[in-house]
């Protein structure tokens, strides 16, 4: 089968002919229709320090997708050939304390599809049926193919009550922008998002942010004053992984504020702990999506009228994958989709 693979330990990604994966007793075989390029795939493409120590070579990468079930193992229940599915990319162990308690997203032995094992940038993908999620008929293939990062946005945004609250999101990458749309949809008062990339800030405005602030030339404090905010933000969603963005967030939180952290900072990020202590802040780390409440909520949010479609800014046939990666690398994009059929 055709597959996009990390064939060499250097910058790039290559189209190759890979063996069709074998279906185990508990697995689904999925014929891939659409895949999306994740920031993680860009790290793998660039072959940065994280990729070098994480990604086996050669390996088919990719973990954002939608496809159709074409075969399944003999133990699988609850799915049928022909079902349209996407899937949770974290394959959990099932035997650690958290897995056994039903807190599966906190499994300490998680294996990543397209990171630690063969991924979805291929004509066919095999995953445990447990990880698959059936896509309701009224959700498009395009949107279904970005459920993985949408899930990061939903998991983070719904970590704290947002109704009537003022929310600060640092980082208007695809995930930050989707989180802004979710926050508005569920009833936040003001949703202020920051970035230094004007293309992405514009996209955030289009998707409902109250204010999209370019911190390179505008001060968050001025924007707050303009909105009549006298005390600070109630909820912070850190979605940039940039230390100065987090510092800015800490100093603009209200006392008793709550912060959910999704962005992955460099390992040596300094934190002004006095802000955390004297403001009584609550900080929660977010990894992946909740299995499978986040998936349920994603479908429901779309069915209740959340419009995510502007976040998909580019689509390419799979043979033009290089253009897809170049577009992602340029920073002038929302989500970029690759079509497999």
340 SS3 class: coil
- Residue 175 interacting entry, from ligand NAD, Zn ion, none, C-beta within 5 to 8 Å by type: ligand NAD
Nearer to Zn ion, 96 or 276 (CB): 96
Q: Name residue, tokens 């204010």.
A: 211
How far is 315 from 35, CA to CA, in rounded Å? 10
Q: Catalytic: 156?
A: no
Query: Tokens representing 196?
Result: 């230094």
**Strands 27-36 vs 124-128: parallel, antiparallel or unpaired:** antiparallel
89 binds ligand NAD (CB under 6 A): no
**13 a known binding residue?**
no
- Residue 194 interacting entry, from ligand NAD, Zn ion, none, C-beta within 5 to 8 Å by type: ligand NAD
* Candidate segments 108-116, 131-139, 202-210, 287-295, binder of Zn ion by CB under 5 A: 108-116
Nearer to Zn ion, 108 or 284 (CB): 108
How far is 76 from 82, CA to CA, in rounded Å? 14
Nearer to ligand NAD, 152 or 294 (CB): 152
User: How many other C-beta atoms are found inside a 10 Å radius of the C-beta of residue 263?
Assistant: 20
Size of the site for ligand NAD (CB under 6 A): 27
151 binds ligand NAD (CB under 6 A): no
Q: Contact letters (x/-) for ligand NAD, 248-287, by CB under 6 A?
A: --------------xxx---------------------xx
Say which residues have a Cβ less than 8 Å from residue 219's Cβ, sequence separation at least 6.
none
Angle at 63 between CA 104 and CA 32, to 5 degrees: 120
- Residue 151 interacting entry, from ligand NAD, Zn ion, none, C-beta within 5 to 8 Å by type: none
Q: Catalytic: 43?
A: yes
Q: Which residues pair with 317 in a beta bridge?
A: 339
Q: CB burial class (10 A; 0-12, 13-18, 19+) of residue 185?
A: buried
**38 a known binding residue?**
yes
42 binds Zn ion (CB under 5 A): no
Q: Phi/psi at 30 (nearest 5 deg)?
A: -115, 125
Chain contacts with ligand NAD (rule: CB under 6 A): 39, 152, 170-176, 194-197, 200, 215, 239-242, 244-245, 262-264, 286-288
What residues are annotated to the active site? 40, 43
User: Where along the sequence are the contacts to Zn ion (CB under 5 A)?
Assistant: 92-93, 96, 99, 107, 109
């Amino acid at each position: 089968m055709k597959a996009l693979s990390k064939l060499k330990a250097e910058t790039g990604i290559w189209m190759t002919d890979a063996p069709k994966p074998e279906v185990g007793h508990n697995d689904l075989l999925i014929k891939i229709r659409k895949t999306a390029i994740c920031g993680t795939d860009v790290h793998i493409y660039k072959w940065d320090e994280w990729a070098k120590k994480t990604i086996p070579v050669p390996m088919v990468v990719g973990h954002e997708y939608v496809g159709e079930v074409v075969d399944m193992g003999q133990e699988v229940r609850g799915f049928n050939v022909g079902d349209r599915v996407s899937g949770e990319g974290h394959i959990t162990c099932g035997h650690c304390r958290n897995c056994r308690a039903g807190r599966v997203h906190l499994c300490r032995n998680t294996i990543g599809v397209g990171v630690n094992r063969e991924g979805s940038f291929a004509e066919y993908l095999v995953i445990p049926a447990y990880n698959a999620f059936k896509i309701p008929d009224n959700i498009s293939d395009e949107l279904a193919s970005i459920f993985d990062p949408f899930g990061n946005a939903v998991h983070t945004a719904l970590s704290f009550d947002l109704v009537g609250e003022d929310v600060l999101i640092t980082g208007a990458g695809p995930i930050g922008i989707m989180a802004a749309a979710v926050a508005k949809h569920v009833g936040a008062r003001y949703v202020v998002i920051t970035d230094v990339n004007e293309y992405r800030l514009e996209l955030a405005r289009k998707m409902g942010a109250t204010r999209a602030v370019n911190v390179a030339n505008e001060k968050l404090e001025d924007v707050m004053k303009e909105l009549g905010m006298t005390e600070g933000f109630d909820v912070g969603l850190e979605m940039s992984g940039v230390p100065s963005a987090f510092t800015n967030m800490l100093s603009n939180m209200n006392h008793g504020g709550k912060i959910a952290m999704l962005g992955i900072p460099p390992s040596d990020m300094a934190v002004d702990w006095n802000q955390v202590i004297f403001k009584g802040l609550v900080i929660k780390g977010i990894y992946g999506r909740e299995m499978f409440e986040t998936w349920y909520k994603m479908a429901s949010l779309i069915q209740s009228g959340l419009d995510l479609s502007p976040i998909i800014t580019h689509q390419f046939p799979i043979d033009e994958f290089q253009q897809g990666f170049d577009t992602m690398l340029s920073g002038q994009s929302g989500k970029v989709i690759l079509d497999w059929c």
